[in-house]
Amino acid sequence: MLRLAGLVAAAQVWLATPGFSQSQVYDAAPPRGSAYVRLVNGLPGEVSARPDFLPQQRLGTGVAERAMPFTVVENVANRQLRLEFQEGQRRGTATFRAEAGSFTTVLLHATADGNITATAITDAADFNRARSRLAFYNGLPDCPAAALTLLPSGPAVFEDVPSLQTRSRSVTPVEAQVRASCGTRNAAPVALQGLEAGGMYSVWLIGAGTNIGAFVTRDTTARYRP
């Protein structure tokens, strides 16, 4: 088992998972004081994001376009990271901190009053290379307790995940159908397929009001080039 808080050790595990090339395993380790940060689009439309810590990003609405890879951000200690972003005519700004040695997800999402904002979520979970890591993100600003359940009538994989937070666990890499929900609001089922031992995957519950949905991504890291 491995704690994600150890940046270099965790990065080596991530880079050694199936799907990464042999050369990536031997990439240079990020310097001390760095964090891995990614942006994820939880909004209904395409987003243009302008971080002050990474190049400009464009996040689409297709499953493969919503989440960028975790990317090294250097010198995060005692530093506020700033982000400006736009979805259609709506604009938002956010500032946040990323702890050195952490993996931080910045979720772009709607607010209860119809504006847009961003919330930084720190990923903290044990990792077992013999199994798959599955995370569940409750991206609904008005949902105090989200769940992810096996279909057709199986047990809950995750329960009572607070708004704009995440939970994760190791799972056996099998195929399954799951449904993300908040109370009586249910997203359409999504398939967990192609899971591999050592792979890391996330299920995202997004939307607002009765218009909610879910999607699955495989988590990756961008190559670090000093």
Q: Is residue 67 part of a domain?
A: yes
Q: Is residue 181 part of a domain?
A: yes
Alpha-carbon gap, residue 24 to 17, rounded angstroms:
10
Q: Is residue 223 part of a domain?
A: no
Radius of gyration for the chain, computed over Cα atoms and rounded to the nearest angstrom: 17
Per-residue pLDDT of 4-19, as tens digits, reads 333 333 333 333 333 3
- Residue bearing tokens 């400009």: 56
Separation of first and last alpha carbons in the chain: 29
Residues 6+ apart with CB under 8 A from 217: 63, 64, 66, 67, 201, 202, 204
Number of domains in the chain: 1
Letter for the amino acid at 79? R
Spatial contact of 121 and 141, defined as CB atoms under 8 Å apart: no
The pLDDT value recorded for residue 128 is 79
Q: Is residue 225 part of a domain?
A: no
Q: Is residue 58 part of a domain?
A: yes
Alpha-carbon gap, residue 130 to 127, rounded angstroms:
9
Q: What are phi and psi of 13, to 5 degrees?
A: -65, -45
3-state secondary structure of 58: strand
Q: Is residue 60 part of a domain?
A: yes
Per-residue pLDDT of 39-76, as tens digits, reads 999 999 999 999 999 999 999 999 999 999 999 999 99
Q: Is residue 224 part of a domain?
A: no
Q: Is residue 9 part of a domain?
A: yes
- Residue bearing tokens 């990439």: 27
The pLDDT value recorded for residue 27 is 64
The pLDDT value recorded for residue 74 is 95
The pLDDT value recorded for residue 72 is 96
For 5-38, b/e burial (b = at least 16 CB within 10 A) is bebeebbebbbebeebeeebeebeebeeebbbbb
The residue ranges of the chain whose pLDDT is under 70 are 1-27, 124-126
Determine the structural domain holding residue 130 and report its residue range: 2-218
Residues 6+ apart with CB under 8 A from 153: none
